[in-house]
Structure 1
Amino acid sequence: MTKLLEGKTVLITGASGGIGRAAAIGAAQHGADVAINYAGNDAGAESAVAEIEALGQRAIAVKGDVAEPETAQDFIARAVEAFGKVDVFVNNAGICPFHAFLDMPVDTFERTMRVNLHGAYYMVQAAANQMVKQGHGGAIIAVSSISALVGGEYQTHYTPTKAGVHSLMQSAAIALGKHGIRCNSVLPGTILTDINKEDLADEAKRKYMEGRVPLGRLGQPEDLAGPIVFLASDLAQYVTGAALLVDGGAFVNLQ
């Protein structure tokens, strides 16, 4: 297999499980050393590091809450200490505590905003500053969502954050282009992760969701690894400000 990220250092937030973990393993399979950020799943982080090392790549795990600005500075500093540079940054960390709109608790709304949107801003800004300091460009990829483009009855706090992350990549692409830094987003559809495990425990709902997808199945975290690796690689050297749907065709299936 051609290793698209040979010699690169990749940083990924929220990577002890789900999409982040799959992207971390995918990056390592393509020759990258990987630093992962995670909030609380120590066992998941340790096993992700072990799996990356088993592929012959270096890896570190740095625990921290992305909602806190200092976490971004610490994550970047620890990665640079370990690997000497930051070539690729993947903003993946996010939460979606499903809840109705009319009685949305203030704490739930605020926490979702701080993790998903504020955390993305702090992390992307810190990674970009390091890339500018290095002077050899880089790639930033944000995991947005199909929810940036469509609504969700129990996601009124979540969908604005994903639209915000998508918009952040568009604006950052303009701000950072002169530094050779490309900024893009991936927009997953329904991916089977811990974030929606409870919501999709209802077999009827899961079957309905599968029926809406032209490819006939819900996504797996590994389905995002390839698109993220592509956007991180030199194959996408003229791609910036773009949004790549990774949803099995769900978005276009209106009829």
Structure 2
Amino acid sequence: MKLEGKVALVTGSSQGIGQGIVLGLAQAGANVVINYRSHPEGAEDTLAKVEAIGGNCHIAQCPKSHGYTVQADLGSVDEVRQLIAESINHFGKLDILVNNAGIEKHAPFWDVTEADYDAVMNVNLKGVFFATQAFVQHLIETKRTGKIINISSVHEELPFPNFTAYCASKGGMKMLARNLAVELGALGITINNVAPGAIETPINTKLLNDPEKLGALLKNIPLGRLGQPQDVASLVAFLASDDADYITGSTFFVDGGLLWNYQEQ
């Protein structure tokens, strides 16, 4: 149990990759905060799966269950700060922050609206910035080290036509991690990005039900399959552990080789 006694917050963890990360961290022994914006039933499903994993709680303040759900919109700085505060209040501390919540909007560049641009940037970059800031402030106040793991995307490197705001947000996340690796290193706080490619999640249901589009995508993936949430979760659990204490400022691609073999259809 490499994360025994640790407390982790995973934003946007009511389904998909976020849910997989929560379960992976819980499996490694961590107590977990499950964040959702608008689907409490998904958060409750994640919580039930965490409770099914079992394990003991190693923090005096926390209840028997080592999972806890908190509603917050990552596009609102006030709600982000409240999310961090409530997580700390419930478990007594935070050791690991996984910035997973993210959205995308499809439109040709010339048709992108200000509202859609703001929605993407607020969740994908501003929310990450201020969640990380509040987490770091907590670590400084309690004189402890910690781990920050951002769930980025292959599109922090790979162009993705008709998703320019999304790509810009992930490119910003890349530089955020690099800059903070330098700025936070003296505090013993590490920060890294995990960049998934095509992962099989509920958000990709339409793609999964379109054999032609799915086939074209699989031709771009040297390993010949879509990734699974646990493919991402296992790397996150490693980066959150003491085994990764000397790793910071890096991006790790979980994409089956997609990045180096992609051709726009």
- The residue number in structure 1 matching 2:132 is 124
- Counterpart of 1:170, as a letter, is R
Q: TM-score, normalised by structure 1?
A: 0.95
Equivalent-residue separation in structure 1 for 2:198 and 2:13 (angstroms): 18
- The residue number in structure 2 matching 1:207 is 215
Shift of 1:200: 5.2
- Counterpart of 1:41, as a letter, is H
- The residue number in structure 1 matching 2:161 is 153
How do 1:4-15 residues align onto structure 2 when only pairs under 5 Å count?
Answer: 4-15=2-13
Equivalent-residue separation in structure 2 for 1:59 and 1:127 (angstroms): 19
Q: Secondary structure at the match of 1:154?
A: coil
Is 1:231 equivalent to 2:230 in the alignment? no
Contact 2:221 2:262 in 1 (8 A): no
Equivalent-residue separation in structure 2 for 1:162 and 1:205 (angstroms): 24
Q: Secondary structure at the match of 2:248?
A: coil
Shift of 1:39: 0.6
Shift of 1:211: 1.1
Identity of aligned residues (%): 40
Equivalent-residue separation in structure 2 for 1:83 and 1:254 (angstroms): 43
Is 1:136 equivalent to 2:134 in the alignment? no
- The residue number in structure 1 matching 2:41 is 43
- 1:36-61 Cα offsets, whole Å, 9 max, x none, are 21111110101111211222251111
Equivalent-residue separation in structure 2 for 1:152 and 1:199 (angstroms): 16
Pick from 39, 62, 67 the counterpart of residue 75 of structure 2: 67
- 1:189-231 Cα offsets, whole Å, 9 max, x none, are 1112244433554321111111111110111222100010010
Equivalent-residue separation in structure 2 for 1:108 and 1:89 (angstroms): 26
Equivalent-residue separation in structure 2 for 1:254 and 1:59 (angstroms): 38
Q: Secondary structure at the match of 1:251?
A: helix
Equivalent-residue separation in structure 1 for 2:231 and 2:73 (angstroms): 26
Equivalent-residue separation in structure 2 for 1:201 and 1:162 (angstroms): 27
Is 1:85 equivalent to 2:85 in the alignment? no
Equivalent-residue separation in structure 2 for 1:76 and 1:165 (angstroms): 19
- The residue number in structure 2 matching 1:17 is 15
Please give the root-mean-square deviation of Cα atoms over the aligned residues, in Å.
1.4
Contact 2:99 2:128 in 1 (8 A): yes
Pick from 166, 171, 184 the counterpart of residue 176 of structure 1: 184
Q: Secondary structure at the match of 1:229?
A: helix
User: How many positions carry a matched residue from both structures?
Assistant: 253
Contact 1:95 1:195 in 2 (8 A): no
Q: Secondary structure at the match of 2:164?
A: coil
Structure 2 unaligned spans of 5+: 56-65
Contact 1:15 1:24 in 2 (8 A): yes
- Counterpart of 1:242, as a letter, is S
Going from structure 1 to structure 2, the CA distance change for 1:108 and 1:254 (only over 3 Å counts) comes to closer
Equivalent-residue separation in structure 1 for 2:151 and 2:12 (angstroms): 11
- The residue number in structure 2 matching 1:111 is 119
Equivalent-residue separation in structure 1 for 2:32 and 2:196 (angstroms): 22
- The residue number in structure 2 matching 1:250 is 258
Equivalent-residue separation in structure 2 for 1:111 and 1:73 (angstroms): 18
Equivalent-residue separation in structure 2 for 1:169 and 1:132 (angstroms): 18
Equivalent-residue separation in structure 2 for 1:210 and 1:95 (angstroms): 23
Equivalent-residue separation in structure 2 for 1:200 and 1:160 (angstroms): 26
Equivalent-residue separation in structure 2 for 1:36 and 1:168 (angstroms): 24
- 1:105-145 Cα offsets, whole Å, 9 max, x none, are 22111111111111111111111111122212000000010
Equivalent-residue separation in structure 2 for 1:50 and 1:254 (angstroms): 38
Equivalent-residue separation in structure 2 for 1:73 and 1:104 (angstroms): 29
Contact 1:96 1:195 in 2 (8 A): no
Pick from 25, 31, 47 the counterpart of residue 33 of structure 1: 31
